[in-house]
């Protein structure tokens, strides 16, 4: 698949300072954006392996039964030169095609076919059922997933 954004640039949140750049390396993570030529922005969190391990351990020890971070990319070091070099690899490997730009709702736009919309609707219904206290067995989840994807 041909990338829809060939040369995104690394953009930091408004108010990002030289001190923030200095701190991101020491903290081992930073939230940023990959911004395309047409203005679309993809949020990304760059994190180093040491910080990732600390975050996972702290999360699981807190009692939360899972760890998840949207748009996370694990890198050897969190510095502006290192992140700038990584962007090319993310584009080549289709990172942007697998994520929605900031502000684009799921289920809309060129990425969504009727199958994707059906899956999103089913997920929403599942969340509503979970909020009502109903849970599904593993077998029910497998069956429903198979019916949504045709597999």
Report the range out of 23-32, 99-108, 113-122, 134-143 with the highest average pLDDT. 23-32
Map residue 103 onto helix, strand or coil.
coil
Give the number of other Cβ atoms within 10 Å of residue 3's Cβ: 16
Per-residue confidence (pLDDT) for residue 2, from 0 to 100: 65
pLDDT at 142 over 50: yes
pLDDT at 75 over 60: yes
Contact 17, 45 (CB under 8 A): no
Per-residue confidence (pLDDT) for residue 4, from 0 to 100: 72
- Tens-place pLDDT, residues 7-30: 999 999 999 999 999 999 999 999
pTM for this one? 0.65
Contact 147, 125 (CB under 8 A): no
Domain ranges of the chain: 9-98, 114-149
Give the number of other Cβ atoms within 10 Å of residue 74's Cβ: 13
Q: Which of the pair, 135 or 42, is modelled with greater confidence?
A: 42
């Amino acid at each position: 698949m041909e990338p829809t954004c060939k040369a995104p640039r690394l953009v930091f949140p408004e108010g990002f300072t030289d001190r923030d750049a200095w701190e991101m390396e020491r903290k081992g993570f930073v939230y940023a954006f990959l911004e395309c030529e047409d203005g679309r922005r993809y949020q990304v969190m760059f994190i180093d392996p040491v910080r990732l391990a600390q975050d996972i351990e702290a999360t699981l020890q807190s009692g939360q039964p899972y760890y998840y971070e949207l748009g996370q990319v694990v890198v050897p070091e969190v510095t502006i030169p290192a992140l700038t070099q990584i962007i090319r690899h993310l584009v080549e490997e289709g990172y942007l095609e697998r994520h929605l730009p900031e502000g684009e709702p799921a289920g809309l736009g060129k990425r969504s076919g009727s199958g994707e919309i059906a899956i999103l609707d089913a997920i929403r219904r599942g969340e509503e059922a979970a909020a009502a206290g109903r849970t599904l067995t593993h077998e029910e989840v497998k069956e429903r997933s198979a019916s949504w994807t045709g597999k």
